[in-house]
Amino acid sequence: MTTTVAPSIRNMEKQLRQQEQHLTRVMVQAVEQGREVNADETNDVADQAVLSYQKEMLFTQGTEGRNQLQLVRNALGRISDGTFGECVSCHETIGAKRLEAVPWTPYCIACQEKAEAGELHDVTGHGEHALAGG
């Protein structure tokens, strides 16, 4: 690793650690909110529908949050093992602007497009939803 790249990697690692902390806080809040949303037998059908919708939204947020948190942790792992900035599929270098915008991305743009089109086996194990934002 050259001295010009090292500060950039350290900056990316800092951003990823901040994102990891943020996502962890959001996940804890979603769990707490999910526990607070309880269907009461005295609620009418409309209230029960609203509560059901709230629970579904919290579940979706939790699932997406877990997927993104795993992508962030995987990126931190790639920093540790020296492969950060390398596409996990084709092993080409991921563009600096892409990494600045989405530092947890496992794919270069070409492989990301293939993954979103279903043309690439998901080597990250997190499915299309995790990849859509990356």
Which position has the token pair 């992508």?
71
Q: Which residues contact 20 (CB under 8 A, 6 or more apart)?
A: 69, 72, 73, 76
In the block, tokens 């959001």 appear at 26
Tell me what pLDDT residue 30 has.
77
- Higher pLDDT pick, 53 / 132: 53
| pLDDT tens-digit readout, 62-100 | 788 889 999 999 999 999 999 999 999 999 999 999 999
pLDDT of residue 40: 55
pLDDT digits (tens, 9 = 90+) for 114-131: 999 998 876 555 444 344
Confidence (pTM): 0.70
CB-based contact 132:106 (threshold 8 Å): no
